[in-house]
Structure 1
Amino acid sequence: MQWIKAALSRVIGKQAEQRALTFLVESGLRLYQQNYYCRGGEIDLIMQDQQEWVFVEVKFRHSSRFGSAAEYFHAAKRKKFTYALKQFMHQHRLNPAMVPHRIDLVAIEGEEIQWFKGV
């Protein structure tokens, strides 16, 4: 029964990522890569906003009954996310001091999408 819950959670997460991707593309961003994984973390979406790299975390909650979707991007998750961002930049020979970049959060609660730039 636990594996069914985990599989359903992954499907729902992928659907939320797709909704976020569609929303961001319609807002003018370009997709570079989806689901970047490294040993220490992951990045849901890597996009470009003109010359700026945008590293996006997507969080989904059916409702805010147990806290908002944005609240789930907590310090421990941010640490792993930042590590993955550094790994990506290193692998692609992008100097973080020289290349404009930011971290964005797309929080989806039910049908509502919130986009937080530069979190």
Structure 2
Amino acid sequence: MNDRRSDGQAAEQAALAHLQAAGLTLLAANVGYRGGELDLVMRDKRGVTATIVFVEVRHRRNLRFGGGAASIDAGKRRRVVLAAQLFLSRQPRLRDLPCRFDVVETTGDAAAPTLRWIEDAFRADD
């Protein structure tokens, strides 16, 4: 279990570095609520209007059972959306900004993974 946890933490750090290099700013990490957890909460200022981005990071050592995005089923999406709603309810200054849900898949060695960033991977009403 510790290997999985340390792999997950390393994958999240790699994903964070990748997103920051692309111009996103970290707002929060590993925010947990009773109904779900948010891996990364970022602000994307690349567009006309700033967007709040809820990022689910999924690590796979190999692609034998599919990529990380394939593991995000309807139940997981509901939990992430619920956690995002709870996060925004506690952040009045962010509440009215547009939001999206991204996935960062990491594969291979968690310390130096191959990354695939899927912007707008799912919607709150999926």
Fold agreement, TM-score > 0.5: yes
1:37 is paired with a residue of what secondary structure? Answer: strand
- Report the CA distance between 1:77 and its aligned residue: 0.8
Partner-residue secondary structure (3-state), 1:118: strand
In the other structure, the counterpart of 2:124 is none
CA distance in 1, matches of 2:81, 2:53: 12
Q: How does 1:15-30 map to 2 (within 5 A)?
A: 15-30=10-25
CA distance in 2, matches of 1:82, 1:101: 11
Aligned-residue offset at 1:7: 1.6
Higher relative contact order (CA closer than 8 Å, sequence separation 6+): 2
Superposition CA RMSD, Å: 1.1
Alignment of 1:1-119 (within 5 A): 6-50=1-45, 51-93=50-92, 94-95=94-95, 98-110=96-108, 111-119=113-121
Helix, strand or coil: the match of 1:31? strand
TM-score by length of 1: 0.89
Opposite residue 108 of structure 1, the aligned amino acid is T
Kindly state the Cα deviation for residue 59 of structure 1 after the two structures are TM-superposed. Answer: 0.2
**Which contiguous aligned blocks of 4+ residues in structure 1 show a shift greater than 2 angstroms?**
none
In structure 1, distance between residues paired with 2:62 and 2:4: 15
Q: Which amino acid aligns with 1:36?
A: V
Runs of 5+ consecutive residues of structure 2 not aligned to the other structure: 122-126
Q: Deviation string for 1:21-78 (max 9, x for gaps)?
A: 0000001101111111111100000010011111100000011111211111111111
How far 1:8 moved relative to its partner? 1.5
Give distance in 2, aligned partners of 1:32 and 1:18: 14
User: TM-score, normalised to structure 2's length?
Assistant: 0.84
Q: Aligned residues: percent identity?
A: 38
In 1, the alpha carbon distance for the partners of 2:114 and 2:74 equals: 24
Unpaired runs of at least 5, structure 1: 1-5
